[in-house]
Every structure is written in structure tokens, then in C-alpha cells.
Amino acid sequence: MTDVPPNPTAPVGPHRILLGLNTFGDVGEHADGSPQLHAKVLRNLLEQAELADAVGLHAFGVGEHHRKDYAVSAPEVFLAAAAARTTRIRLGSAVTVLSSDDPIRVFQRFATVDALSNGRAEVMLGRGSFIESFPLFGLDLADYEVLFEEKLELFDKVRAQKPVHWDGRTRPALAGLSVYPPLEHHLLPTWIGVGGTPESVLRCAQYGYPIIFAIIGGQPRAFRPLVDLYREAMAKYGHPMQQVATHSPGHVAATDEQAREELFPHWLKLRNKLGAERGWGPAGRGEFDALCAPEGALYVGSPETVARKIVELKQNLGVDRFDFKYSNGPLPHSAMMRSIELLGTQVAPRVAELLAENDRPAN
């Protein structure tokens, strides 16, 4: 039999931070204005995952969308291909829109990725900030809350790998059926992805799952009360402590200026496209520069700048893991590959060095 590996979502301690990557597989245009092919974007993603593995990053996650502008609608299908081409990196979703999926199918797909990756699968469950999956799968947006609540309850029972007894109003009941294939090692590592509401934080703690906060605007340090709330609630519920992570967009290049200039046009286009859909006012360079500043939520700059910002995050929020969303608007594949390489080969070791330095005076 295979050795059981240690719990992959146990906290990592005060002087360490795990670095992961996220992408939604943004689909854009070539330099000549012709549209990119979704299929080509998916093949580029596979190269990005291979590079992330090769440079030693901790995790690679793909987010589920059902829109023309993102290539990933079936995260686990992509992750299985990544499993076959990588050896160390953890493979996950960021996030799986559980509300509009079937918890049994989600478990089966991730269990299959887990088998094919020798125990490297993880799932991040969320309600999704996009809502296009509701009409597509015939769901009513009025059930936004109850769908997530009930499906999370069912998923948690399936994950326990015992015959499932469940009853609710959003899906027919289950009376003692088992779900296959089972996992080989521990329970499937399962995160809850949250925006910034106390209810979401408490729901995550109720299940005892690790938590990941999406911080895509404002200041990361403003999430301190929610991080504290999670840790207090986990203790109150009597769960063993789990990892706390944040996810934010970023881009790394040789210099701060290069990173900002490369990213800005893509960031602006994406920001204003989403803004038009969601009723935000148009953004400009001022907003971008504020987000890139030391207090902002964008991790953009040279390896040194980004490393210092990640260390700051560790100091402010005490997080165990930081997931860097390296696709922010359809940046060229080559620029994303360089960003990933710099993150693994320069940012990660520099973060470790800075955390070790910070450690010394305290001793």
C-alpha cells in the first residue's frame, strides 16, 4: 500500500508562505485583432502548468466560466491533462461553481484527477462572481443562496466517502448510495473561496475547510478582521486549524516599469469590460497605479517588489498561502510564461529569504 502523505492543508507556520497560481484561461485577440482560439488557449495553459511545476510553485488552479472570453468551462478535464504532464504541483479549481453543478459529479471528477496525479488534486468551491451558469444549467438566480448551502452540505457528505444520506429542496434526496472512485489517501482537500462577507467565512469554518479570500480590489490588510473571524470560528467549532489563503491578480517582469506597462492595457480592457457589465464607472491609470502601490491588491512589478509585497501580506494577515492570478485580461502567452518563471525562480526564493530575515530579530 502507498504511504499516506501528510495533510496538505495543515497551516505552515509563521515563517513560511506557499505560492500558487490561478488563471481563468482568458481568451483575447492576437496583435492583429483576430480572435484567439479557445483550443489554443487551453493548450497554452497546459504549457503554463508544466512551467509552474518545473519552477517549483505549489499549486495551479483554473477557474470555471461559461463565457466566450474564458476558455475553461470544465476545470477537472484540463487538470487531468496537467496531471499527466507534471509531477509535484497541486492541481485545483479556482473556483468550481458548486451552485450550478452536481456535487457527486464534482467529487467524481476530482477523485479521478487525484488518482491520475498521485494525490495532488484539490477543489475550491464557491458561488462564483459570474452568474452565467444559472440560465445555462436551468437554475433560478433567486436560489443563489440555498443552492450553494444545500450543495455544500451534500458535497461534504460525499467527501466523507460513506454511503450518502441527504435530503433537500434543490435536488432529489439520496438514501444511502456510495460514490466512486474513492480517494487513495486523505479526504479530498476542499477549500471554500469567499469574497468578503462574514457569512461566507462562518460557513467555511462550520465545515472545517481551509479558506481562500479573493482580494481583487482595495487593500489586502482590510481582510484582517475576516481572517481573525475564520480562526476564531474554526476554534469555536472545534475543527483542527486549516490553511488561510488569499488570491490576487499580478504580473512579474524584469523591472517595475516593464511589469506595469505590459499589464496595464490588458488590465484596463478587462476592468472596463467587467465594469460595463456590472455597472462600475470606467477605470484609468490612477486606479491601476493605486492598486500596484504597496498597499494595493495588485502584485505587479519586479521580482523584488512582488516578493516584498507577498512578505507584507504574510505579516499583515498571517496567511499560509498566496495564489497569484497571473492572467489578467489576455496577456500574451510569452509574457505569462516569463511571469511564471520569475515567480518560481526569483520571487519564491526571495520571499523565503525575507521571511527568514524577519525571523532573526524576533529570536
Which residues contribute to the site for its own copies (CB under 8 A)? 37-40, 42-43, 46, 66-68, 70-74, 76-85, 102, 104-105, 108-109, 111-116, 118, 135-139, 171-174, 177-184
Query: Of 172 and 281, which has the nearer Cβ to its own copies?
Result: 172
Closest distance of CB 145 from its own copies, Å? 19
Closest by CA position to 347, among listed 17, 90, 22, 50 = 17
Query: Of 150 and 262, which has the nearer Cβ to its own copies?
Result: 150
Closest by CA position to 247, among listed 133, 94, 103, 28 = 94
Closest distance of CB 269 from its own copies, Å? 19
Query: Of 115 and 274, which has the nearer Cβ to its own copies?
Result: 115
Whether cis (ω within 30° of 0) applies to the bond prior to 181 is: yes
| Number of Cβ within a 10 Å radius of residue 311 | 19
* Cell digits of residue 17: 508562505
- Please report how the helices 224-237 and 303-317 are oriented relative to each other, as an axis angle in degrees rounded to 10: 50
Amino acid present at 5: P
In the numeric block, the cell 477605470 is attached to 283
Amino acid present at 97: V
Closest distance of CB 218 from its own copies, Å? 30
120 alpha carbon, distance to own chain's centre: 15
Percent of the chain that is helix, strand, coil (3-state, to 5): 45, 15, 35
Closest distance of CB 212 from its own copies, Å? 23
* Cell digits of residue 95: 473556483
Read off the DSSP letter of residue 188.
Answer: P
In the numeric block, the cell 479557445 is attached to 38
Query: Of 47 and 295, which has the nearer Cβ to its own copies?
Result: 47
Query: Of 176 and 238, which has the nearer Cβ to its own copies?
Result: 176
Query: Of 59 and 113, which has the nearer Cβ to its own copies?
Result: 113
Closest distance of CB 51 from its own copies, Å? 15
To which H or E segment does residue 20 belong?
Answer: strand 18-23
* Cell digits of residue 183: 480517494
Query: Of 119 and 208, which has the nearer Cβ to its own copies?
Result: 119
* Cell digits of residue 211: 479558506
Closest distance of CB 190 from its own copies, Å? 17
Closest distance of CB 240 from its own copies, Å? 25
Q: What are phi and psi of 192, to 5 degrees?
A: -110, 125
